[in-house]
């Protein structure tokens, strides 16, 4: 009678090694595919946000929705700030802790209410559409409207009357809408809207958005969305580590391209 022959230990180890090698080769490709899927969902959400933003302006004689969720200084714990809104913002602010994350005592209901009580909710009634699928854990809102569109004027507050021409309140004043960013995905909650410097030399005020493999998803004022891959390693590093007030060295690629491109996209123009 013939004896049944099984695998030897060496053969099993070779098979396991081959499987491990194949997994090592495939995992980066699978992760990249997952990132492309997250990016596609994110850009779709941003397009929906742009449509809601445009509808709001059309329904209000061109007036742009308030892009600043909170009129008070950034919170680092303690009771929520008193609301001093002069216009209902597109979403309401949510209490943040010292790490800049939503207060853990808050529930999902609390998070949802900050979205549902916002001025854009009637035009976009999908809570999931306010959040990137690659968001930081615990953050139910990751999109921010840029400061130049009826938002936080602090980056141009020293410019006097010029600030009113830069931080616009009517859609008709948004020149070259195919080049002007409405909103970006930061990957976490920002209670002020996205801010970047206008004056020369400029600087990043909020960390560079780099939640998507060293790049940023965004939507323009004409409704089309896209993805920017940052050129400089310093921009990516500052974004991934959430470094505020990042000032790249003059002459570096981070300054000449990344920061310059972002300032122009937010403000429409920058000083020569």
Residue 202 clears pLDDT 90, i.e. is over it = no
Task: Please compute the mean of the pLDDT values over residues 186-207 and round it to a whole number.
Answer: 93
Beta pairing partners, 226? 218
For residue 239, give the nearest of 199, 184, 169, 157 by alpha carbon.
184
For residue 65, give the nearest of 130, 127, 146, 166 by alpha carbon.
146
Mean pLDDT check: name the lowest of 7-16, 161-170, 198-207.
7-16
Q: Cis ω on the peptide bond leading into residue 201 (within 30° of 0)?
A: yes
pLDDT score for 12? 79
The CB-side HSE value for 252 (13 A sphere, CA atoms) comes to 16
Q: What would the pLDDT profile of 34-74 be if each residue is shown by its tens digit?
A: 888 999 999 999 999 999 999 999 999 999 999 999 754 44
| Residue 177 to residue 199: CA distance in whole angstroms | 21
221 against 11, higher pLDDT: 221
pLDDT score for 85? 55
Mean pLDDT check: name the lowest of 12-16, 106-110, 121-125, 186-190.
12-16
Residue 75 clears pLDDT 60, i.e. is over it = no
For residue 196, give the nearest of 265, 99, 94, 150 by alpha carbon.
265
**% of the chain with per-residue pLDDT over 90:** 67
Task: Please compute the mean of the pLDDT values over residues 249-266 and round it to a whole number.
Answer: 95
Q: What would the pLDDT profile of 149-172 be if each residue is shown by its tens digit?
A: 999 999 998 998 888 889 999 999
Q: What are the strands, taking DSSP E only, across the chain?
A: 143-145, 181-185, 215-220, 225-229
3-state secondary structure 175-219: CCCCCCEEEEECCCCCCCCECECCCCCCCECCCCCCCECCEEEEE
pTM of the complete model:
0.84
Tokens representing residue 123 in the block:
């035009």
Residue 104 clears pLDDT 60, i.e. is over it = yes
pLDDT score for 144? 97
What backbone torsions phi and psi does residue 193 show, to the nearest 5 degrees? 80, 165
Task: Please compute the mean of the pLDDT values over residues 23-43 and round it to a whole number.
Answer: 83
Q: What would the pLDDT profile of 228-247 be if each residue is shown by its tens digit?
A: 999 999 999 999 999 999 99
Compute CA distances 147 → 91, 167, 251, whole Å: 14, 7, 26
Residue 162 CB neighbour total at 10 angstroms: 11
Mean pLDDT check: name the lowest of 154-163, 185-194, 216-225, 227-236.
154-163
Task: Please compute the mean of the pLDDT values over residues 193-204 and round it to a whole number.
Answer: 92
Residue 1 clears pLDDT 60, i.e. is over it = no
């Amino acid at each position: 009678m013939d004896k049944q022959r099984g695998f030897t230990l060496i053969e099993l180890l070779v098979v396991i090694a081959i499987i491990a090698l194949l997994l090592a080769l495939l995992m980066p490709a699978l992760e990249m595919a997952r990132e492309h899927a997250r990016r596609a969902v994110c850009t779709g959400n941003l397009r929906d946000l742009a449509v809601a933003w445009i509808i709001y302006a059309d329904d209000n004689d061109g007036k742009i929705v308030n892009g600043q969720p909170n009129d008070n200084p950034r919170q680092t714990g303690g009771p929520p700030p008193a609301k001093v809104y002069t216009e209902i913002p597109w979403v309401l602010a949510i209490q943040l802790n010292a790490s800049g994350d939503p207060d853990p005592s808050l529930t999902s209901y609390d998070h949802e209410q900050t979205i549902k009580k916002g001025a854009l909710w009637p035009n976009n009634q999908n809570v999931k559409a306010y959040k990137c699928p690659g968001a930081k854990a615990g953050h139910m809102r990751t999109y921010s409207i840029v400061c130049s569109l009826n938002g936080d004027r602090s980056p141009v507050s020293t410019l006097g009357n010029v600030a009113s021409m830069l931080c616009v309140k009517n859609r008709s004043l948004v020149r070259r809408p195919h080049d002007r960013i409405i909103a970006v995905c930061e990957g976490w909650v920002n209670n002020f809207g996205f801010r970047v410097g206008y004056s020369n030399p400029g600087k990043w005020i909020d960390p560079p958005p780099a939640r998507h493999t060293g790049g940023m998803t965004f939507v323009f004022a004409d409704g089309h969305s896209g993805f920017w891959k940052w050129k400089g390693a310093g921009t990516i590093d500052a974004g991934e580590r959430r470094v505020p007030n990042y000032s790249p060295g003059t002459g570096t690629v981070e300054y000449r391209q990344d920061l310059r491109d972002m300032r122009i996209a937010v403000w429409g123009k920058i000083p020569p």
